[in-house]
Amino acid sequence: MAQHLQEWLQALAHIGAAVNHGVSLGELLDLIAKTACKLMSYDFCAITIPDATSQVLVIEGSYGLSADYVREVNATHPIRLHGVHTPTPSGQAFAMGIPVQIEEFGSDPAMLAWRAAARDQGFSSMISVPLNSADETLGTINCYTRSPHHFTKAEESRLLMLADQASVAITTSRLRSNETKRIMKLNELNASLEERYELQRQAEAIHERLMALALEGGGVRALGEALAEILDRPVAVSETNGTILCHFERDGVSLPVTLIAKAAGLPRNDVMSTGNAGLLADVHLPDPTGTRNLVRVSVMIKEKLVAWIWTNGRVSELRPLDRQAMERSAAPLALELLRIRTATQADWQETGEILSGLLSGRGHYATALLAQTARLGHDLSLPHAVVAVRIEPRHEGYLTYGLAPAFSGMAGQISPRPLLGFHEGYVVALWPLGPTTPIGELRGIGDEVRRIASERTQMGGAHAAITGPVTSIADYPAAFATARGAIELAALRKASPGTVMLSDLGLVGLLLQLPNVSALSHYADDVLGPLRANDATQDSLLLSTLSALIHNNLNARKTAEQLHTQEDIVVEARRRIEDLLALNLSRLSDLTRISMALEVEDVIEARQRQSTIDVQTPRTSSPELENT
């Protein structure tokens, strides 16, 4: 008896030691099954517990049973706990919390489904004992014998005692397992927090480095170069209109800056994907050789998009620190762009005041203006050309930041510096001319200013005019007035956008330079007066028909197409014109006289339009400049 008790104590101690050593639940259940067989001299044992859904009991630990038997029972004949099913010893023991036995499998009809498996395994009798804990039934201990056997009350009592100890062990094991999982989760969370803290620390260091460059006035290029070094990737910075502010290669890899520049003109759906991460966005640029995948981050000033920072790849390919670096670089770059804008605004305000003084005829300030421009690197004592481009005054703010870098690039190393600014609804550049520099070489300057004005304002093609050379401060108002007249004349004639030189206009170019057109007005009235009077009284359009005929070299068919009328109507109108003016358009002298009168008419109308614009043009600063 003492020896038997000692065996039980040792067996239970062995189970407790296994729990303390943290063995898995499966290993613990196998040990409990083995202990039951050894202590009770049974042939087989199985430990069943409910599955995750608590619908069936499955064998999770066993001793003596084959793997095939365990697999077949669990997969084919699981012990059901709910619904319509045949009562089983395990199910009844689990449900009622009492031992249930079967002395002979072969004679019990309830065991029909398991009879073949029992025969293959080689047992005849079984007893199922519940694993009861304080709050619930954890499962069952099922013991089997090869020979038919009746399980006595003493056996049931000892098995219940073993089941109680096993329940304590299982509960303790589960608690330890859950605690271990919680500790692991807390350790993972702690490691994640440490990793995020380190990421944040490195990101702060990057931010401080970039902010230091911005505060030191390092410029956009310094910021872009530093970011390329941090990312170890190529980097580009572009304005929203496609102007590339800087770009840097990395290990021989460069960004498609041409595609980036063109991306500003594409519809948003053509370049943007729906994928994004925070401020970062994947961009897919169409390319003849295939789609180029890039990442860009927005640069904002006062909630307005002003630039983009670009790198190669996709957002998902960037390391977390690289993403942080891209996002955090936006603020220093915005600060640098704001600094540039503020400086540009100050420069343009000063040059605008100088231009107003020069072009408004305040010649008595000549000495002061010369000194002021000399301080800024200009020398108005030298000959200059006047380049003018018509704009809407409300667009001055947009143009300032587009023209400033472009103008710096055009001016290059020219000394003295050209003077650029806004005056009365025009972009005006005073460009120094060397002793051997023909004024015609400046046509490209006018074309570039026109292009920027058209792109920035989206107002279509603009006209530019170049006059000069101007050798005296007192002559700048007249030169500017002539340029304005040429632009208004081009608009009046609906000419294609371009840069006009006075030499392109022939006689009209000379007429535009006349300070007083009153005599010209009398000449036009003498020649064209009868047509004006007829048009006013007869409600006809003979004057416009005459102008179209002259423009189309007296070709009636082309004139009819231009005026959207019939050719015979044009022929009849020509007859009436020749009768009213007492001339023959086929005669060269008459045709020359009429053509000159029409050109004088255009010059006068251009001057009138110019005067109207002077009245309508507000002398106010740009709202964009004030709000930036």
Length of the chain: 628
Asked, colleague to colleague, whether 344-503 and 518-616 share their fold, the answer is: no
Backbone dihedral angles phi then psi of residue 215, each to the nearest 5 degrees: -70, -30
Q: Which H or E element spans position 613? A: helix 588-616
Residue pointed to by tokens 């970062």: 280
Residue 539: Cβ within 10 Å count:
7
What mean pLDDT do residues 213-225 have?
A: 84
Distance from C-alpha of 261 to C-alpha of 267, rounded to nearest angstrom: 13
How much is the pLDDT for 409? Answer: 60
Least confident window among 80-84, 222-226, 477-481: 80-84
How much is the pLDDT for 336? Answer: 86
Class of domain 217-328: alpha beta
Distance from C-alpha of 490 to C-alpha of 505, rounded to nearest angstrom: 10
Q: Is 82 helix (H, G, I), strand (E, B) or coil?
A: coil
Percent of the chain with pLDDT over 90: 10
Q: First-to-last CA distance in the chain?
A: 98
User: Domain residue spans in the chain?
Assistant: 2-180, 217-328, 344-503, 518-616
Query: Is 542 a residue whose pLDDT tops 70?
Result: yes
Query: Using one digit for the tens of pLDDT, what is the confidence trace for 556-597?
Result: 888 888 888 888 888 888 888 888 888 887 877 777 777 777
**Most confident among 17-26, 47-56, 519-528 (mean pLDDT):** 47-56
Distance from C-alpha of 388 to C-alpha of 470, rounded to nearest angstrom: 14
Query: Is 276 a residue whose pLDDT tops 50?
Result: no
Query: Is 507 a residue whose pLDDT tops 80?
Result: no
Distance from C-alpha of 7 to C-alpha of 3, rounded to nearest angstrom: 6
How much is the pLDDT for 138? Answer: 92
Beta bridge partners of 57: 50, 79
| Cα-Cα-Cα-Cα dihedral sign, residues 556, 560, 565, 570 | negative
Query: Is 273 a residue whose pLDDT tops 50?
Result: no
What is 518-616's CATH topology? Answer: Arc Repressor Mutant, subunit A (1.10.10)
How much is the pLDDT for 508? Answer: 63
Q: What is the mean pLDDT of the chain?
A: 79
What mean pLDDT do residues 155-183 have?
A: 88
Asked whether the beta carbons of 117 and 69 are under 8 A apart, the reply is yes
Query: Is 45 a residue whose pLDDT tops 90?
Result: yes
Least confident window among 133-142, 165-174, 449-458: 449-458
What mean pLDDT do residues 32-45 have?
A: 91
Options 3.30.450.40, 3.40.50.620, 3.40.1410.10, 1.20.1250.20; CATH of 2-180: 3.30.450.40
Please give the residue that has the higher pLDDT: either 224 or 612: 224
Reported as a pLDDT band with limits 50, 70 and 90, residue 621 is very low
Instruction: Give me the CATH code for the 344-503 domain, please.
Output: 3.30.70
Query: Using one digit for the tens of pLDDT, what is the confidence trace for 237-272?
Result: 988 777 788 889 888 888 888 888 777 654 444 444
Reported as a pLDDT band with limits 50, 70 and 90, residue 150 is very high
Asked whether the beta carbons of 628 and 302 are under 8 A apart, the reply is yes
Q: Is 66 helix (H, G, I), strand (E, B) or coil?
A: coil
pTM of the model: 0.49
**Token pair for residue 478?**
């007249």
Which whole-number Å values give the CA distances from 468 to 388, 444, 471, 604, in the listed order? 12, 16, 8, 21
Query: Using one digit for the tens of pLDDT, what is the confidence trace for 348-374?
Result: 677 777 777 788 776 556 677 777 777
Closest by CA position to 33, among listed 122, 139, 121 = 139
Query: Using one digit for the tens of pLDDT, what is the confidence trace for 72-126?
Result: 888 888 888 887 667 888 888 998 999 999 888 877 776 777 777 788 888 889 9
Asked whether the beta carbons of 268 and 274 are under 8 A apart, the reply is no
Asked whether the beta carbons of 124 and 114 are under 8 A apart, the reply is no
How much is the pLDDT for 145? Answer: 93
Closest by CA position to 455, among listed 262, 247, 260 = 262
Query: Using one digit for the tens of pLDDT, what is the confidence trace for 423-441?
Result: 777 888 888 888 777 888 8
Closest by CA position to 424, among listed 462, 397, 382, 392 = 392
Amino acid at 494: K
Query: Is 287 a residue whose pLDDT tops 50?
Result: yes
Distance from C-alpha of 195 to C-alpha of 190, rounded to nearest angstrom: 8
How much is the pLDDT for 511? Answer: 63
Amino acid at 2: A
**Token pair for residue 259?**
């595609």
Query: Is 229 a residue whose pLDDT tops 80?
Result: yes
Q: Is 162 helix (H, G, I), strand (E, B) or coil?
A: helix
Percent of the chain with pLDDT over 70: 82
